[in-house]
Amino acid sequence: MSEDFMKVNDLTTFTRKANLKVKVVEKGESRDVVSNKGGSTYTVADALVADETGCVILSLWGEDIKKFEVGDVIEIKNGYVKPFRGSIRLNIGRYGEAEKMDEDIPNVNTENNVSERT
């Protein structure tokens, strides 16, 4: 079964089942957030990821924060997009997967930030 990979520029506000290959361009500091449902505390960090068509903010949760660093190419399977505080965010989620790939995306486009779409 072949995977259909989309490009960052094709992401929309409620994209589901997103399969992408992206490069980590920036990675922010991790922070703790408290869930509105149940009050549990989670750790999250924002990473800017890109391909040749654009860039988007990827929310990294828990163990995924340590798995990926700036310069890594990540293959995301079954990710999703949702709005958060006026911008869209790419998420791996509990049903998605992300793994570091042994390849490069030499030319990334950071001018077309699709996170600014709402």
Residue 111 included in any domain: yes
How confident is the model over 67-105, as pLDDT tens digits?
999 999 999 999 999 998 888 999 998 899 999 999 999
Residue 41, in any domain of the structure = yes
DSSP state of 10: G
Residue 10 Rama label (left phi>0; alpha psi -120 to 50; beta): alpha
Is there a contact between 83 and 63 (Cβ–Cβ < 8 Å)? no
Question: Looking at the predicted structure, is the pLDDT value of residue 55 above 60?
Answer: yes
Question: How far is Cα of residue 17 from the mean position of the Cα atoms in its chain?
Answer: 13
pLDDT at residue 1, as a whole number: 38
Query: What does the pLDDT read at residue 117?
Result: 74
Mean pLDDT of 44-57: 97
pLDDT, tens digit, for every residue of 7-24?
A: 999 999 989 999 999 999
Q: What is the CATH number of the domain that holds 110?
A: 2.40.50.140
Query: Per the structure, how many domains does the chain have?
Result: 1
In a domain? residue 87? yes
- List, for residues 24-33, the tens digit of each pLDDT value: 999 999 999 9
Q: Identify the domain containing residue 50 by its residue range.
A: 8-116
Tell me whether residue 66 is in a domain: yes
What's the burial of 57, exposed, middle or buried (CB within 10 Å: 0-12/13-18/19+)? Answer: buried
105 part of a folded domain: yes
Residue 40, in any domain of the structure: yes
The half-sphere exposure of 4 on its side-chain side, counting CA atoms within 13 A, is 4
Q: Which of the residue ranges 35-39, 43-47, 112-116 would you say has the lowest mean pLDDT?
A: 35-39
Instruction: Give a yes or no: residue 76 inside a domain.
Output: yes
State the pLDDT confidence band at 2, using cuts at 50, 70 and 90.
very low
**In-domain check, residue 3:** no
